[in-house]
Amino acid sequence: PYVVTDDCIRCKYTDCVEVCPVDCFYEGENMLVIHPDECIDCGVCEPECPAEAIVPDTDGRAEAWMQLNREYSAQWPNLTRKKDSLPDADEYKGVGDKYTKFFS
Ligand code: SF4
Ligand code: F3S
């Protein structure tokens, strides 16, 4: 499956949900996650994300975020339509290492 990394945090552009054929994105307050058992590995979401937050599980960045995607996709509500990004999305785009900076 594809995985949402911490590059989504405080951006949440939601362009990804609009293209997903199986609606497997789930929404938290600060980021989205992908349900790893529902994702069919089509890859269409990856280039849609302005923050380049989505990677395939073969990418080195994926492993650190797979468990978070699995855990929270079971708890957060499904999101199937694009909505406004978070207000400071452009400011937080690409800052890197966001989980450490904002949640630890
Ligand atoms: Fe949805 Fe395809 Fe992205 Fe998986 S890879 S989350 S199925 S758009
Ligand atoms: Fe997040 Fe990118 Fe989707 S910032 S909400 S993964 S378009």
Task: Kindly report, residue by residue over 49-104, the tens digit of the pLDDT.
Answer: 999 999 999 999 999 999 999 999 999 999 999 999 999 999 999 999 999 999 88
Domains of the chain: 2-80 (3.30.70.20)
Tell me, using a 6 A CB cutoff, whether residue 20 lines ligand 1: yes
Determine the pLDDT at residue 104: 80
Which tens digits make up the pLDDT trace of 14-60?
Answer: 999 999 999 999 999 999 999 999 999 999 999 999 999 999 999 99
**pLDDT of 13 higher than 90:** yes
Place of tokens 């995607």: 69
What are the beta bridge partners of residue 3? Answer: 55
Ligand 1 pocket test: which of 45, 58, 73, 79 has the largest number of ligand atoms within 8 Å of its C-beta?
Answer: 45
pTM (predicted TM-score): 0.97
Ligand 1 atom nearest to CA at 44: 8
